[in-house]
């Protein structure tokens, strides 16, 4: 069974940093591109960042470029999101998602990690 | 950025009924390779989103044939027939044709 389990969320002050992790199991992690998607309270889904299967390519939405870093450790089957210079508007639940093709489409999602910047 | 506009914002349906959700994009979702990368997701109350449909009309593994996707270019539709209680929640369309990937604002399906 494919499982994605996020951790590392919580309350953080504006301007500080936080690092989210997403532990993957049930599939060959290093065969898949991965993504982070966020959802502000009572709002819709917003793509944050994508990383290629081998970590060689990364893509970010403009509002997080230069502040967030997506990375992965394929030996540990773990995806990361380093969030620096956090702002109140970054408050959201952050989901890690597996990308599949032809697409991409997000065919597996974690349970989410809540981040509150205040 | 490609703006995805979903209508309606909410829908009330009787069990066993049929509904359609529209998703219009501000630009064509046809990729250079000729494919259209439009997916549909359902977020049930208190849960993470789950994939229903990918590449306009392909049902994901385990998804009932009561769900069907159609459309082309900038005008896409999700139809749900014989609505069941487990279908309730918020439906999102999402495009993967170009960065940044974008989603519609969601359509909430409720019981009448």
Pairing label, strands A45-51, A34-39: antiparallel
CB-neighbour burial class of residue A10 (10 A; exposed 0-12, middle 13-18, buried 19+)? exposed
**For residue B88, what pLDDT band results from cuts at 50, 70 and 90?**
very high
Listed by number, the residues of chain B in 66-85 with a beta carbon closer than 8 Å to a beta carbon of chain A are none
SS3 B53: strand
Which residue stretches of chain A have pLDDT < 50?
none
Mean per-residue pLDDT, B80-90: 97
Predicted confidence at residue B46, as pLDDT, reads: 95
Mean per-residue pLDDT, B53-61: 97
- CB–CB contact A95 B54 (8 Å): no
Q: How far is CA A58 from CA A69, A80, A84, A97, B109, in A?
A: 9, 12, 17, 15, 35
Predicted confidence at residue B108, as pLDDT, reads: 98
Predicted confidence at residue A102, as pLDDT, reads: 83
Q: How far is CA A101 from CA A1, A84, A98, B58, in A?
A: 19, 31, 10, 12
Q: How far A35 CA sits from the closest chain B CA (Å)?
A: 10
Predicted confidence at residue A103, as pLDDT, reads: 81
Predicted confidence at residue A75, as pLDDT, reads: 98
Tokens of A53: 């299967």
Interchain contact B13–A (C-beta under 8 A): no
Q: How far B58 CA sits from the closest chain A CA (Å)?
A: 11
Q: Are B4 and B103 in contact (CB under 8 A)?
A: yes
Helices (H) and strands (E) in chain A, counts: 0, 11
CB atoms within 10 A of CB B81: 15
What average pLDDT is seen over chain B? 97
Sign of the dihedral defined by the CA atoms of residues B70, B99, B60, B52, in that order: negative
Q: What is the pLDDT of residues B15-40, one digit of tens each?
A: 999 999 999 999 999 999 999 999 99
- By Cβ distance, the residue of B48, B51, B54 closest to A110 is B48
CB-neighbour burial class of residue B96 (10 A; exposed 0-12, middle 13-18, buried 19+)? buried
Interchain contact B18–A (C-beta under 8 A): no
Q: Are B14 and B111 in contact (CB under 8 A)?
A: yes
Q: How far A47 CA sits from the closest chain B CA (Å)?
A: 6
Interchain contact B51–A (C-beta under 8 A): yes
List the one residue out of B28, B9, B25, B1 whose CA is nearest residue B105.
B9
């Amino acid at each position: 069974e494919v499982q994605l389990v996020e951790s590392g969320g919580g309350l953080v002050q504006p301007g500080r940093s936080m690092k989210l992790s997403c532990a993957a199991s049930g599939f060959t992690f290093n065969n898949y591109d991965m993504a982070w998607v966020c959802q502000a309270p009572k709002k819709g889904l917003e793509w944050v960042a994508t990383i290629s299967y081998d970590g060689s390519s990364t893509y970010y939405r403009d509002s997080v470029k230069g502040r967030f870093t997506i990375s992965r450790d394929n030996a540990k089957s773990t995806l990361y999101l380093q969030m620096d210079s956090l702002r109140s508007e970054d408050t959201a639940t952050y989901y890690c998602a597996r990308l599949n093709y032809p697409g991409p489409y997000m065919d597996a999602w974690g349970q989410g990690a809540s981040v509150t910047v205040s | 950025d490609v703006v995805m506009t979903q209508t309606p914002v909410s829908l009330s349906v009787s069990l066993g009924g049929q509904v359609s959700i529209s998703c219009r994009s501000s630009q064509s979702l046809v990729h250079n390779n000729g494919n259209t990368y439009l997916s549909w997701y359902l977020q049930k109350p208190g849960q993470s989103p789950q994939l229903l449909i990918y590449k306009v009309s392909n049902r994901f593994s385990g998804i009932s044939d009561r769900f069907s996707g159609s459309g082309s270019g900038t005008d896409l539709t999700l139809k749900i027939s014989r609505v069941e209680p487990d279908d309730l929640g918020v439906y999102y369309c999402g495009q993967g044709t170009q960065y940044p990937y974008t989603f519609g604002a969601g359509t909430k399906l409720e019981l009448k």
